[in-house]
Structure 1
């Protein structure tokens, strides 16, 4: 980058001028981040294997040997391979630290974006490109830390592992974490793992609020609702209509609220976050943490859709199709209902609830094969939580850091199923719009990225010793 920029004037290339102001180690990191963004790893047009090749080359150049690098994949999915890199520790008693990083991204179409989604573009204090936030920022930080540790001769007490995987952003492709936990659990065996899922974002005014450590998540479940009918000519309609019948079933699901269900993490979050926030909502959060049956408090809390989702299992219609001709009564209608299930419940229980709520045996309800195991709640381990709180205080003093449950899902489920607790760390600050994750013109604050790099590197060292 520096050689290219040297040939250009700062007036013609502001991005180059900014890059030249970086320290040499930051310039190397930026180039590594750029390489990750500009390697398309979407399931439709990209290749995780290609990026894994580049990661391996970087690791070998830093001095990692063949015994410290493992490539994996399956012949049926040649573009979805991953890589595990290990930096051995000196302790024979401390279990390893695992850094998790999915390298696949949600697909992006050039015609939809303002800029090329697979080019790293720096404008007005932001990096733009698919994966700039989810989650190649953290991927680049993990790899950069491992490279620097190796080059510097750093000898951690605790072995450090990093697993770059594919398949997190899809439910039907090859999943690296699923394969590793089933076929090579030794590669990912660890005392605990750090992953995405922690959240720290500014509000509309740019103020950073509460930062959350992900301690647990929901299980993703999908259900198919179908109705069938003999149909007929549309000129003689009848009330017995497959689309109407399906619609009535979906409206019953819309109107049903799963009961409030606290666990140790959500109860702690509501009590502490509510006390910090104050006001009507904060008071209601504290009240409902004490008494989940407090309907008045629940009504206030439920105005915030994120808090609403954290309190209960949720189900929502996401896809619908029906009929076969403009002038014919529908013979078949189908809809997908996507549910996010609280730890402690499972897909079979939700299926039974949906069946009861709909109350119509003519509506066929089937559960899709689960993506993976049911989510488990990791412990609120002070040995894991305290270092995150301490390091966050160094970089963002005065910002409260609390454990919270993610209402979405990650690949933590595979590791937790074999006894490895996983935690999402909030080291990279996002904007109020969550940096357009999964959407158009995904972005990452330049300042937040470089600060997050330093913060997460310090966190790794705090755990590794």
Structure 2
């Protein structure tokens, strides 16, 4: 899930044209297109799709490229036969160098055909974009990583550092089997690495299509859901009493809405806000500087937090997302429940946030953390060995475009790898429009030019890290 603002709609006069491989001129681009198209058109939703099928298709391509079975390892579990994944390994020549890991998820958010202007599982090219569910999140990265492994093998390239690939399922759905979590807990040696490259970074285009900025994700929040519950004996609605489950749950949610979690900074968010201040007019720039000097400056907080993205980057946030109450129109409610979704700042735990929510809810409402319980987010360091090559390769491919470290206010599977000591970085390189091109929404799309230029950048970036 990539957390990145306004939507525009295609006009009715536009004609959807199926994409042909000849749309790209280089042979390697045509080969990549075949892999990407097959992956995008393989339904991998939880309700009706199969990540296992998608993983098997990529495994077959890796086999054809020369990967032996020992280095081309599909996996699944009996209880979730359609939610499998794949690990592939390209051995390095220097045993003293720890491996690097390329991580991406194969599953996609649900997409109903009746809601979309085009079939969400048929890749369509239209006015410089590829349209389909997963064209960005996260099949662009999954296809690029798999294609990179194939190209390196076919070129007989022997990296100094072993390169590992993990394509997993379950990232988009909280209650689904999560392949990255399963690997971290059950096969940690298989994915052990000095660092991992994942989704969460990228680039932003201006309204007229020019590259504006590159982002490398260094850290993310932990996503955690909590249930608020109030219960009463109920009774006839003609004789109401103050003890009302709906009112009690409403009071608790109002307390959550009014509460602001404390402001914190990591090295990444300090670097992000420093860069933001340099590009911002007064009074925003002054407020950012004041807040970094004193996180308790309420006046500065009010200015900076007027931007919802920066507000979320400063602190843990919790918000009500689901509500269920009552059992009859003419009866006092016996039970009311609400789901509160929290995005927990790195270093803060699920239990710490639970304690705060319990205090806010008061004695009449119970608060529990919902399974699955997420690990505490561990922010990676701004390691020059990671940021340096990303910036150097960007200078070659995207000269003049600044590279900014960001902390994602969303969540990815990186949190599971960080829990076992693997720092995870969201790779830059693929530029999107400011509205995020329909990720998680209708008519998801990716600029064709961005996809192929990003592929070239990421291929060179992998080689730069691998040696």
Deviation digits for residues 269-304 of structure 1 (CA, Å, limit 9, x no counterpart): 112221133443233223322222232221111011
* C-alpha spacing 1:169/1:26, structure 2 compared with 1 (3 Å): same
Correspondence list, 1:4-153, <5 A: 19-153=22-156
1:241 aligns to 2:244 (yes or no): yes
- Equivalents in 2 of 1:242, 1:207: separation in Å? 53
Asked whether the 8 Å contact 1:171–1:371 carries over to 2, the reply is: no
Asked whether the 8 Å contact 2:217–2:408 carries over to 1, the reply is: yes
Q: What is the match of residue 262 of structure 1?
A: 265
Deviation at 1:220, TM superposition (A): 1.1
Structure 1 alignment gaps of length 5 or more: 1-11
- Equivalents in 2 of 1:199, 1:117: separation in Å? 23
Deviation at 1:415, TM superposition (A): 1.0
Secondary structure (helix, strand or coil) at the match of 1:277 reads coil
- Normalising by structure 1, what TM-score? 0.94
Deviation digits for residues 142-173 of structure 1 (CA, Å, limit 9, x no counterpart): 11111111111111111111101111112222
* C-alpha spacing 1:220/1:65, structure 2 compared with 1 (3 Å): same
Q: What is the match of residue 167 of structure 1?
A: 170
- Equivalents in 1 of 2:42, 2:18: separation in Å? 20
Correspondence list, 1:314-353, <5 A: 314-353=317-356
Deviation at 1:43, TM superposition (A): 0.7
User: Aligned Cα RMSD in Å?
Assistant: 1.7
Q: Which moved more, 1:43-52 or 1:272-281?
A: 272-281
- Equivalents in 2 of 1:332, 1:257: separation in Å? 28
Task: Please point out which of 192, 196, 206 is paired with 2:195.
Answer: 192
Secondary structure (helix, strand or coil) at the match of 1:444 reads strand
Deviation digits for residues 240-295 of structure 1 (CA, Å, limit 9, x no counterpart): 32112111111110011011111221112112221133443233223322222232
Deviation at 1:369, TM superposition (A): 2.6
Asked whether the 8 Å contact 2:215–2:428 carries over to 1, the reply is: yes
Q: What is the match of residue 445 of structure 1?
A: 447
Asked whether the 8 Å contact 2:175–2:372 carries over to 1, the reply is: no
Deviation at 1:131, TM superposition (A): 0.6
* C-alpha spacing 1:178/1:332, structure 2 compared with 1 (3 Å): same
Secondary structure (helix, strand or coil) at the match of 1:117 reads coil
Deviation digits for residues 308-327 of structure 1 (CA, Å, limit 9, x no counterpart): 00000000000001011122
Asked whether the 8 Å contact 1:43–1:107 carries over to 2, the reply is: yes
* C-alpha spacing 1:150/1:137, structure 2 compared with 1 (3 Å): same
Q: What is the match of residue 218 of structure 2?
A: 215
Deviation at 1:204, TM superposition (A): 3.9
1:226 aligns to 2:225 (yes or no): no
Asked whether the 8 Å contact 2:19–2:124 carries over to 1, the reply is: no
- Equivalents in 1 of 2:380, 2:368: separation in Å? 30
Equivalenced residue count is: 453
Asked whether the 8 Å contact 2:16–2:126 carries over to 1, the reply is: no
Q: Which moved more, 1:64-73 or 1:230-239?
A: 230-239
Asked whether the 8 Å contact 1:210–1:401 carries over to 2, the reply is: yes
- Normalising by structure 2, what TM-score? 0.93
- Equivalents in 1 of 2:83, 2:229: separation in Å? 33
- Equivalents in 2 of 1:458, 1:279: separation in Å? 39
Q: Which moved more, 1:27-36 or 1:262-271?
A: 262-271
- Equivalents in 2 of 1:206, 1:256: separation in Å? 39
Asked whether the 8 Å contact 2:224–2:342 carries over to 1, the reply is: yes
Deviation digits for residues 206-241 of structure 1 (CA, Å, limit 9, x no counterpart): 454332211111111111111112222223333332
- Equivalents in 2 of 1:207, 1:240: separation in Å? 59
Task: Please point out which of 430, 453, 456 is paired with 1:454.
Answer: 456
Deviation digits for residues 162-188 of structure 1 (CA, Å, limit 9, x no counterpart): 101111112222211112122221211
Q: What is the match of residue 410 of structure 2?
A: 408
Secondary structure (helix, strand or coil) at the match of 1:200 reads strand
Structure 2 alignment gaps of length 5 or more: 1-14
* C-alpha spacing 1:237/1:223, structure 2 compared with 1 (3 Å): same
